Amino acid sequence: MTKLTLASKSAARAQLLRGAGVAFDMASAGVNEDALKTELLSHGTSPAEIAGALADSKALAVAWDVEGLVIGADQTLDFEGRLFDKAASIEEARERLRMLRGRPHKLHSAISVARGNEILWRETETATLHMRDFSEAWLEDYLQRNSDAALTSVGCYQLEGEGVQMFDHIDGDYFVILGLPLFGLLSFLRRQGVLAA
């Protein structure tokens, strides 16, 4: 049986894999994401391409040290072509949500699978989220109740929680929004014999 490792300490991604019945180990990739993003942005790399590059880097960083297949994943938020990271404070989250309010933005979720020093498979999928024009009072109440979600997710919301109330509609896959495009990954793992066909 091929060993599978998730190059992440993300509880959300681990939960998605476990929920799908996939057995795996976890390992921290130790990638300096900020430095890589800065370098890629200096070359005009798009937010979607940055998500892919980060997923590749995480998978390869762990694949050097373990046997079997290694999954790397990353997600970027793209608003009008600009890349945004997680908010560093509640004030920054408040300003981010005011900026996104009433407008669409994109989440690019990338996933890569490596063995040794080679990327065997990769995929980047995009979902477009249309945020409703919520009131200032609603925003303040949301931030008071959901400060952890606001600071631990790139969009300052978690769709699987109260954050879903921010949206009018969404174009795209739910798993893409959660940061792990599962359907393509599961299909690849079946082709590799990791999962039963």
Supply the range of the domain harboring residue 8: 4-191
pLDDT one-digit tens code per residue, 5-50: 999 988 889 999 999 999 999 999 999 999 999 999 999 999 999 9
pLDDT reported for residue 39: 95
Q: Can you tell me the distance from the alpha carbon of 92 to that of 197, in angstroms, rounded to the nearest whole number?
A: 46
| Across 62-79, average pLDDT | 96
3-state secondary structure (DSSP) of residue 88:
coil
| Across 69-95, average pLDDT | 96
Residue 171 domain-assigned? yes
Does pTM top 0.95 for this prediction? no
Q: Is pLDDT at 1 greater than 80 in this prediction?
A: no
Residue 196 domain-assigned? no
Q: Can you tell me the distance from the alpha carbon of 100 to that of 55, in angstroms, rounded to the nearest whole number?
A: 25
Q: With contact defined as beta carbons under 8 Å apart, do 23 and 194 qualify? A: no
Helix (H) or strand (E) holding 112: strand 104-115
Residue 197 domain-assigned? no
pLDDT reported for residue 9: 84
Is 85 marked active-site?
Answer: no
Q: Say how many domains are in the chain.
A: 1
pLDDT reported for residue 2: 85
Residue 34 domain-assigned? yes
Helix (H) or strand (E) holding 123: strand 118-131
Q: Can you tell me the distance from the alpha carbon of 145 to that of 105, in angstroms, rounded to the nearest whole number?
A: 23
| Across 82-90, average pLDDT | 94
Q: Can you tell me the distance from the alpha carbon of 29 to that of 62, in angstroms, rounded to the nearest whole number?
A: 6
CATH assignment at residue 60? 3.90.950.10
Catalytic option among 34, 56, 65, 74: 74
